């Protein structure tokens, strides 16, 4: 009885200390923010239905000068080095753009990329964003472009493909042998910051943080140079799954082995207890 | 030379050469421990179990770790965590065991304070224990640097810089410790050496002395009764086991310890596999970057109380710079626990704290104050937090200054 009382006291003070330095301290260091918004409410939704054929023509005329669409046979027009030299950052392949980006976001991005990406602290008339604004297109034409990009997506992209198209131009994934398409020096020049390698992000930032951060970086880190990328909810969870697959490859093994180790020690403890009882029966 | 006869078996063969039977008697079956103790007396054996875990997993990690600023991070986070079979397990066990060791050390240390096991002949146990605490702290600090993550780097930067507070030679000392003007490759490699060779040797040696120093005054017990160990042991050996107030270390005492160790290790493996962030700070999974200061720099949880005593003094007092007051308080905090047996002016009273009212209050104030320091050592030191930290630091110093007076009064009261 006395031992249980002592145990309760020890556990109580340990738990208070733990609560103070972990959950409580972290809640103080990282104040609560609004959850991720995948509807991109700040951008006007499209009110018209797009026409795929018109969209095809518009994309061929307006986008292929810079972007490749490999799934339908358009290779990137320039090598990565040349593209980085020309625009500051390598334009992504658009094979899956129709599903990777939220529809709302995609339309808003074409009209006004700087406010869509929330990079007005980085870009202005003197230093323009790498991709021109297509504000001169009508809402109908924008809808056509979006409809076309959605239409060409035949199969759901793999987790890795989402990463490559949405993040791979800026970020490396060293532990999966992926090098950012844009060279570091160009990246620094373009955004004024290096894009970190994402290999261990799942351990350093945790999935919960990544979920709000990728959705809107500026909300989480003041003045950060990372653009809002505009991923749909599904593709964002694919990206996070990929980051986890690379950075925490042994998670499944850890979680299944954990049960066995705990079970083993529990049995050990039980046997040790029985042994103790039998020995102390004679002694005390 | 002893009479060597034809051996009757392997044990006898060994016994004739190494006196293993006598050795086992002295160390195990006739090493007498009081009966009236509780599970807090098992913390020493829990610590041995944890140290064994650290040693074995450390050796496994050492086979793949590369002490070079360009390779360290990847050797830990890629090679060990992903490529090596069960490398993640060794690393998680190593990291969690380091943290758990400090939890148990603190329990062990406060047990000794509560039950008065630091005085009346047990001073050497206390002092060697404190040396172990310092050695383990250095071991933990140097180990934390090895993965070369953001916290490794910035903690090294901040802590080594503390030495610049030493008058006159401070700046030279900092450079001497770092092996460079800044924390760099030379720093990493020398802390690697400390972590894997010098400090483990010191720790092993001090552990031996710590155990040795326990043999003569014997283990204390929860009622602080003076036992005549020889008489009690005699009773035990004569078979009056129930009547005897002692039990042998092996198997009786250890049978209980195995149970406690098992209980604790079950929890340990839960932490290793499912709940490790408290011991392996996420920020340290970001590679060291000297150009990017993390938003919050803090040491591991077990150094926080100490750290808060350092930074609790955040304003100049009487013309002395805040930084200097903090440093003096910090040095005081690190030294004062060593002095505990001598600050206690009622050296002959070894009753547990609940039988010493004033000391009892002192003890629980100390615990609460150190927890407050620990929590506020992590919180950003702004606004109210800074003041809470300041007062907690003052209370900490005050408690130790008050201790001689409290215990002196206590001894006077007893003599009347």
Query: From the first residue on, what is the mean pLDDT of each consecutive set of 10 residues in chain B (416 residues)?
Result: 86 95 94 95 98 98 98 98 98 98 98 96 97 98 98 96 93 97 97 98 98 94 92 95 94 96 98 97 96 93 97 93 94 96 93 95 98 97 96 98 96 84
Does the beta carbon of A174 lie under 8 angstroms from any beta carbon of chain B? yes
What's the confidence (pLDDT) of residue B2?
A: 65
Residue A71 has pLDDT above 80, yes or no: yes
Token duo for residue B174: 């900092």
Residue B355 half-sphere exposure toward CB, CA atoms < 13 A: 12
Question: How far apart are the C-alpha atoms of A223 and A261, rounded to whole Å?
Answer: 45
From the CA of A163, how many Å to the nearest CA of chain B?
Answer: 20
| Cβ-Cβ contacts under 8 Å, A25 against chain B | 375, 378-379
Could you list the beta-strand ranges (E) of chain A.
Answer: none
Question: How far apart are the C-alpha atoms of A1 and B69, rounded to whole Å?
Answer: 53
Write phi, then psi, for A218 (nearest 5 degrees).
-65, -25
Q: Which of B88, B273, B374 sits opposite A17 (nearest CB)?
A: B374
Q: What DSSP string runs through A159-170?
A: HHHHHHHHTTTT
Does the beta carbon of A125 lie under 8 angstroms from any beta carbon of chain B? no
pTM: 0.95
Residue A125 has pLDDT above 90, yes or no: no
Q: Do A25 and B379 touch (CB under 8 A)?
A: yes
Kind plus residue range of the DSSP H or E element containing B199? helix B199-215
What's the confidence (pLDDT) of residue A46?
A: 87
What's the confidence (pLDDT) of residue B118?
A: 96
Residues 176-215 of A with CB under 8 A from B: 196-197, 199-200, 203-206
Closest chain B residue to the Cα of A274, Cα to Cα: B259
What's the confidence (pLDDT) of residue B240?
A: 94
Does the beta carbon of A16 lie under 8 angstroms from any beta carbon of chain B? yes
| Cβ-Cβ contacts under 8 Å, B371 against chain A | 13, 16-17, 20
Question: How far apart are the C-alpha atoms of B188 and B185, rounded to whole Å?
Answer: 5
pLDDT digits (tens, 9 = 90+) for A228-249: 999 999 999 999 999 999 999 9
Does the beta carbon of A2 lie under 8 angstroms from any beta carbon of chain B? yes
> Taking the alpha carbons of B267, B271, B273, B275 in that order, is the dihedral positive or negative?
positive
From the CA of B250, how many Å to the nearest CA of chain A?
Answer: 11
Higher pLDDT, B349 or A96: A96
Q: pLDDT band for A284, please (50, 70, 90 cuts).
A: confident
Closest chain B residue to the Cα of A284, Cα to Cα: B242
Q: How far is CA B319 from CA B29, B56, B324, in A?
A: 62, 51, 10
| Cβ-Cβ contacts under 8 Å, B284 against chain A | 204
DSSP A194: P
Write phi, then psi, for B287 (nearest 5 degrees).
-60, 150
Mutation target to probe the A interface, by most A beta carbons within 10 A, among B150, B265, B365, B385 is B265
Does the beta carbon of B360 lie under 8 angstroms from any beta carbon of chain A? no
Does the beta carbon of A265 lie under 8 angstroms from any beta carbon of chain B? yes
What's the confidence (pLDDT) of residue B414?
A: 83
Closest chain B residue to the Cα of A10, Cα to Cα: B107
Q: Which of B242, B278, B380 sits opposite A28 (nearest CB)?
A: B380
Based on the number of CB atoms within 10 Å of its own CB, is B199 exposed (0-12), middle (13-18) or buried (19 or more)?
buried
Q: Which fold has domain A37-247?
A: Cytochrome Bc1 Complex; Chain D, domain 2 (1.10.760)
pLDDT digits (tens, 9 = 90+) for A193-229: 999 999 999 999 999 999 999 999 999 999 999 999 9
Residue A18 has pLDDT above 60, yes or no: yes
Does the beta carbon of A12 lie under 8 angstroms from any beta carbon of chain B? no
Question: How far apart are the C-alpha atoms of A144 and A53, rounded to whole Å?
Answer: 8
Residues 46-105 of B with CB under 8 A from A: 74, 77-78, 81-82, 88-89, 92, 103
DSSP B117: T
Q: Which of A21, A199, A265 sits opposite B266 (nearest CB)?
A: A265
DSSP B288: P
Per-position b or e across A6-16, b if 16+ CB within 10 A of its CB: beeebeebeee
Q: How far is CA B115 from CA A159, B183, B341, B354, in A?
A: 59, 43, 13, 9
Closest chain B residue to the Cα of A257, Cα to Cα: B273
Q: Where are the domains of chain A?
A: 1-30, 37-247
Q: Which of B262, B285, B296 sits opposite A200 (nearest CB)?
A: B285
What's the confidence (pLDDT) of residue B1?
A: 56
Q: pLDDT band for A44, please (50, 70, 90 cuts).
A: confident
Residue A63 half-sphere exposure toward CB, CA atoms < 13 A: 25
Does the beta carbon of A257 lie under 8 angstroms from any beta carbon of chain B? yes
What's the confidence (pLDDT) of residue B3?
A: 82
Question: How far apart are the C-alpha atoms of A34 and A9, rounded to whole Å?
Answer: 38
Question: How far apart are the C-alpha atoms of A191 and A169, rounded to whole Å?
Answer: 13
Q: How many CB pairs under 8 A join A and B?
A: 132
Residue A30 has pLDDT above 90, yes or no: no
Q: Which domains does chain B have, with CATH numbers?
A: 38-156+185-220+251-295 (1.20.810.10), 298-416 (no CATH)
What's the confidence (pLDDT) of residue B247?
A: 95
| Cβ-Cβ contacts under 8 Å, A2 against chain B | 38
Cβ distance B107 to B43 under 8 Å?
yes
Q: Which of A21, A257, A273 sits opposite B378 (nearest CB)?
A: A21
Mutation target to probe the A interface, by most A beta carbons within 10 A, among B88, B305, B376 is B88
Q: Which of A175, A204, A261 sits opposite B269 (nearest CB)?
A: A261
Does the beta carbon of A251 lie under 8 angstroms from any beta carbon of chain B? no
């Amino acid at each position: 009885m006395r031992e249980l009382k002592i145990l309760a006291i020890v556990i109580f003070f340990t738990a208070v200390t733990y609560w103070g330095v972990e959950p409580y301290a972290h809640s103080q260091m990282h104040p609560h923010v609004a959850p991720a918004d995948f509807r991109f409410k700040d951008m006007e939704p499209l009110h018209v239905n797009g026409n795929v054929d018109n969209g095809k023509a518009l994309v061929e005329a307006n986008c292929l000068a810079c972007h490749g669409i490999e799934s339908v046979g358009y290779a990137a027009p320039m090598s990565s080095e040349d593209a980085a030299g020309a625009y500051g950052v390598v334009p992504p392949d658009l094979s899956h753009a129709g599903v990777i980006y939220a529809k709302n976001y995609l339309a808003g991005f074409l009209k006004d990329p700087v406010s869509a990406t929330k990079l007005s602290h980085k870009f202005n008339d003197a230093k323009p964003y790498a991709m021109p604004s297509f504000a001169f297109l009508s809402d109908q034409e924008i809808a056509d472009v979006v409809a076309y990009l959605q239409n060409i997506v035949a199969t759901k992209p793999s987790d890795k493909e989402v990463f490559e198209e949405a993040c791979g131009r800026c970020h490396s994934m060293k532990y999966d042998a992926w090098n950012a398409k844009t060279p570091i020096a160009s990246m620094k020049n373009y955004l004024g910051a290096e894009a970190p390698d994402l290999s261990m992000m799942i351990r350093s930032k945790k999935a919960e943080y990544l979920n709000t951060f990728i959705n809107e970086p500026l909300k989480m880190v003041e003045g950060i140079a990372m653009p809002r990328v505009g991923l749909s909810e599904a593709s964002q969870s694919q990206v996070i799954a990929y980051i986890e697959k690379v950075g925490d490859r042994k998670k499944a093994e850890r979680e299944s082995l954990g049960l066995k180790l705990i079970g083993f020690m529990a049995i050990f403890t039980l046997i040790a207890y029985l042994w103790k009882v039998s020995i102390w029966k004679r002694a005390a | 030379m002893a009479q060597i006869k034809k051996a009757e078996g392997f044990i006898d063969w060994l016994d004739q050469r190494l006196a293993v039977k006598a050795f086992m008697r002295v160390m195990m079956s006739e090493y007498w421990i009081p009966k009236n103790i509780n599970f807090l007396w098992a913390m020493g054996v829990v610590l041995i179990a944890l140290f064994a875990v650290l040693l074995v997993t450390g050796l496994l990690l050492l086979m793949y770790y590369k002490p070079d600023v360009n390779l360290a991070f990847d050797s830990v986070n890629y090679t060990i965590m992903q490529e090596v079979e069960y490398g993640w397990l060794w690393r998680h066990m190593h990291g969690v065991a380091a943290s758990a060791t400090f939890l148990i050390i603190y329990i062990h240390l406060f047990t000794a304070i509560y039950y008065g096991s630091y005085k009346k002949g047990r001073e050497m146990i206390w002092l060697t224990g404190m040396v172990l605490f310092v050695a383990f702290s250095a071991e933990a600090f140097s180990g934390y640097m090895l993965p070369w993550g953001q916290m490794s780097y910035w903690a090294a930067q901040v802590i080594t810089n503390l030495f610049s507070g030493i008058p006159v030679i401070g700046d030279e000392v900092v450079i001497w410790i770092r092996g460079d003007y800044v924390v760099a490759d030379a720093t990493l490699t020398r802390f690697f050496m400390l972590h894997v060779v010098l400090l483990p040797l010191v720790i092993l040696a001090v552990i031996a002395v710590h155990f040795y120093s326990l043999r003569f005054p014997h283990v204390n017990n929860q009622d602080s009764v003076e036992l005549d160990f020889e008489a009690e042991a005699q009773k035990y050996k004569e078979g009056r086991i129930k009547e005897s107030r002692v039990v042998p270390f092996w198997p009786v005492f250890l049978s209980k310890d195995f149970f406690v160790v098992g209980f604790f290790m079950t929890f340990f493996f839960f932490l290793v596999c499912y709940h490790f962030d408290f011991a392996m700070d996420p920020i340290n999974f970001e590679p060291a970057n000297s150009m990017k200061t993390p938003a919050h720099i803090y040491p591991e949880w077990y150094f926080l109380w100490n750290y808060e005593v350092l930074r609790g003094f955040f304003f100049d007092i009487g013309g002395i710079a805040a930084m200097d007051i903090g440093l003096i308080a910090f040095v005081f905090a690190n030294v004062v626990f060593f002095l505990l047996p001598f600050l206690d002016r009622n050296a002959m009273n070894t009753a547990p704290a609940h039988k010493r009212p004033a000391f009892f209050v002192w003890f629980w104030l100390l615990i609460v104050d150190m927890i407050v320091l620990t929590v506020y050592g992590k919180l950003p030191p702004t606004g109210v937090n800074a003041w809470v930290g300041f007062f907690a630091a003052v209370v900490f110093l005050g408690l130790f200054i008050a201790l001689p007076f409290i215990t002196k009064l206590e001894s006077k009261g007893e003599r009347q």
